[in-house]
Amino acid sequence: MQAAPVSDLPISVQFDFATGIFEPWLELQDRRLSNLKEMFYDQERVRNILSEGDPVIYEIRYHPFQTSTSDMSLGVTRIYPGKIGDEYHMTKGHFHERLDQPEIYFCIHGEGYLLMETREGDFRAAPWKPGTITHIPPMWAHRVVNTGKDTLFFVASYHLAAGHDYDAVTRRGFAQVVVEREGKAVLMPNPRR
């Protein structure tokens, strides 16, 4: 993320509920399979897909509202439908670097789960549908999984200073993964743990 412009004036952006895109945004990041290849449990399937291409799994638009005394930020993530093997598309997932930083996620469109886990192993999976708003307390890693046929998009509100720590999730994943069984999304213990 580039340094955010500082403005002490109120700023509004306009969100399109049909597309999940707001304007103006200041930064757009694509997350391709190669950026999160360690996250999926079926590593053979990951290698097969990457040998033929590098699909975009999700994208994030950011607008950091940096003032001279505060650092609230807006992020909208759009996860495309699909699976890697039988595991649904999902975000990388992370802890916040700072131990006192929570976050609020608003599900706008699509269906899936918000997975959350502490370093001590307490795990929660919040079922998500449009209108679900979840408060993620400090020290809970968070990952969103799209189990539907449409793009899932959600709004995130957090402080820039929270920071992102991807290490633990990259090494261990979450306690459970979300996979398709007989046409349905089910949670199962992470086979890589």
Q: Residue 159, interface with ligand S6P (CB under 6 A)?
A: no
Least spacing, CB of residue 49 vs Zn ion, in Å: 26
Q: Which is nearer to ligand S6P, 44 or 117 (CB)?
A: 117
Contact 31, 71 (CB under 8 A): no
Residue 47 CA neighbour count, 13 Å, CB half: 3
Least spacing, CB of residue 183 vs ligand S6P, in Å: 27
DSSP string, 80-107: PS-EETTEEPB---BB-SSTT--EEEEE
Closest CA to 174 of 141, 126, 138: 141
The two tokens of residue 141 are 């890693």
Given Zn ion, ligand S6P, none, residue 192, with its beta carbon under 5 to 8 Å by kind, binds none
Contact 95, 135 (CB under 8 A): no
Residue from 46, 59, 61, 77 binding ligand S6P (CB under 6 A): 77
Q: Which residue is associated with the tokens 């633990």? A: 168
Least spacing, CB of residue 96 vs Zn ion, in Å: 6
Q: Residue 60, interface with ligand S6P (CB under 6 A)?
A: yes
Given ligand S6P, Zn ion, none, residue 141, with its beta carbon under 5 to 8 Å by kind, binds none
Q: Residue 111, interface with ligand S6P (CB under 6 A)?
A: no
Least spacing, CB of residue 29 vs Zn ion, in Å: 14
Going by their DSSP bridges, the two strands 112-117 and 14-16 should be labelled as unpaired
The closest residue (CB) to Zn ion is 103
DSSP string, 47-80: HHHHTT---EEEEEEEEEEE-SS-EEEEEEEEEP
Total residues contacting Zn ion (rule CB under 5 A)? 1
Q: Residue 75, interface with ligand S6P (CB under 6 A)?
A: yes
Least spacing, CB of residue 93 vs Zn ion, in Å: 9
Q: Residue 103, interface with Zn ion (CB under 5 A)?
A: yes
Helix (H) or strand (E) holding 32: strand 27-32
Per CB under 5 A, residues contacting Zn ion are: 103
Per CB under 6 A, residues contacting ligand S6P are: 31, 60, 75, 77, 91-94, 103, 142, 156, 158, 162, 164
